[in-house]
Amino acid sequence: MHVLFVEPAFPKNQREFVRALHSVGARVTGIGESPLEALDDELKRWLYRYEQVRSVTDENALLSVVRRCQAREWVDRLESTVEAHTLPVAKVREACQIPGTSVRTAFLCRDKPAMKEALRQAGIPCAQSIGASSTAEVREFAARVGYPLILKPRDAAGAAGTYKVTNDAELEGAMRECGLDRGYPTAIEEFNEGHEGFYDTLSIEGTVQHDFISHYYPNVLEAMRTRWISPQICTTNRVHSPDYAEVKAMGAKVIQALGIETSATHMEWFFGPKGLRFSEIGCRPPGVRVWDIYSHANEFDLYREWAFAIAHGRVDRAPSRTFAGGMIALRPECDGRITGYDGFELVQQRVGANIIDCHLPPPGSATQPVGSGYMGNAWVRMKHHDYDGLRAALNFVGENLKVRARAD
């Protein structure tokens, strides 16, 4: 099995997919933007060959490299696991007649209005939405649907570039920020009220083989806007609870509706006054290294399970569901430079046995903005046999471990 893997070196956890493919016997040709000499020795050892390209999202450059690989020897798969790479890779895959995620599926998972229209046609509840290229379209949608509303780029991932608006004045400001007055395509949708979580799967030929259910505390938009909050992502080990039956059934319908075959998936959902609604769908793994948490909590290597699916069309082991797992992001008290930490010894003493790993940037490190994400600054990842026990442990960390900083 010869697999071309797009961008083995960045972000950092991309190497895990290469490691896993190598471990199941695949020959991996990496296609990345860094020169070969910039790769570390371990990553080089896992790679069969390496091809450098100016940009992995440059379709013509990527197509040229893939065809060069095909001229040299047979290629079985062309894979990528980063949101921004999925559509250009799918287009090259289709042009080179390599099996894998189709252009239609990749497009639907990137273009938010088209995605939601496909979901609605399949009877899957989601927010009212349109894709707009003019301010007039947005104002008409706002008048028809009412506030609050969400504006974001059509190809956004997570909360990047996302604005919640509650009145006409905020709408006008958000349209300017999104570039609508300059014709930049924007998605506008009804605000989903309720608790937010996500359903992740590893699917083979459209059938779920492994699945995981996680929760945000609080919802992402609030978490990425509010400094004092130490937001959490928690994955439950109660996946088989009847409470999640509707999420799992709807997830299976999403996979069929979008034509997802052998791939990781990431499906955001809300549950509130209007019931269960699905939001963003990705035919790729979740961000912020959530697969690491799944692997620790379930006592198996999810990257290797993905590699088995890609290389051999099957999975190897079942998740244990022994632990619930999660992470908490810790924000500095202000932007500037980190000066130190309070409470770390207490955290080690009280809940240290539950810590998987942590990242505490050393004093003197520059802080990152609140909106930089869950791993932008300090963070702690944990596991616990009981989901409620996990929440309590993460709350203890958030209440007692403080990141001190000074303004530059």
* 355 contacts 380 by C-beta, under 8 angstroms: yes
- Find how far residue 138's CA is from the centre of its chain: 28
pLDDT score of 238: 97
pLDDT score of 156: 54
Q: Check if CATH label 3.30.1380.20 holds for domain 2-100.
A: no
For 291-349, write each residue's pLDDT tens digit.
Answer: 999 999 999 999 999 999 999 999 999 999 999 999 999 999 999 999 999 999 999 99
Query: Which of 19, 12, 107 is closest to 3 using CA atoms?
Result: 19
Pairing of strands 207-217, 195-204: antiparallel
Quick one: average pLDDT of 81-98? 97
Instruction: Give me the residue label for tokens 């632990």.
Output: 323
* DSSP letters for 260-285: --SEEEEEEEEEETTEEEEEEEESS-
Quick one: average pLDDT of 33-62? 97
Pairing of strands 49-52, 27-32: parallel
pLDDT score of 131: 84
* 371 contacts 354 by C-beta, under 8 angstroms: no
pLDDT score of 159: 53
Residue 113 pLDDT exceeds 70:
yes
Residue 56 pLDDT exceeds 80:
yes
Q: Check if 2-100 and 195-406 are the same fold.
A: no
Fold of 128-190: Dna Ligase; domain 1 (3.30.1490)
pLDDT score of 58: 97
- Find how far residue 21's CA is from the centre of its chain: 20
Average pLDDT of the chain is 94
Upstream peptide bond of 185 is cis (omega within 30 degrees of 0): no
* 354 contacts 405 by C-beta, under 8 angstroms: no
For 138-192, write each residue's pLDDT tens digit.
Answer: 999 999 989 999 998 766 555 557 888 999 999 998 888 888 878 788 888 888 8
Quick one: average pLDDT of 4-29? 97
pLDDT score of 355: 98
Share of the chain above pLDDT 70, in %: 98
Flag the least confident range among 74-88, 103-117, 341-355, 379-393.
103-117
For 364-381, write each residue's pLDDT tens digit.
Answer: 999 999 989 999 999 999
Residue 111 pLDDT exceeds 60:
yes
pLDDT score of 184: 81
Say whether 245 sits in a helix, a strand or coil: helix
What is d(CA 77, CA 96) in angstroms, rounded to the nearest whole number?
A: 10
Residue 133 pLDDT exceeds 90:
no
Check residue 45 and give left, alpha or beta (phi > 0: left; psi -120 to 50: alpha): alpha
Show me where the domains of the chain are located.
Answer: 2-100, 128-190, 195-406
CATH class of 195-406: alpha beta
- 239 vs 153, which has greater pLDDT? 239
What is d(CA 89, CA 93) in angstroms, rounded to the nearest whole number?
A: 6
pLDDT score of 162: 83
Residue 48 pLDDT exceeds 90:
yes
What is d(CA 370, CA 373) in angstroms, rounded to the nearest whole number?
A: 7
For 74-89, write each residue's pLDDT tens digit.
Answer: 999 999 999 999 999 9
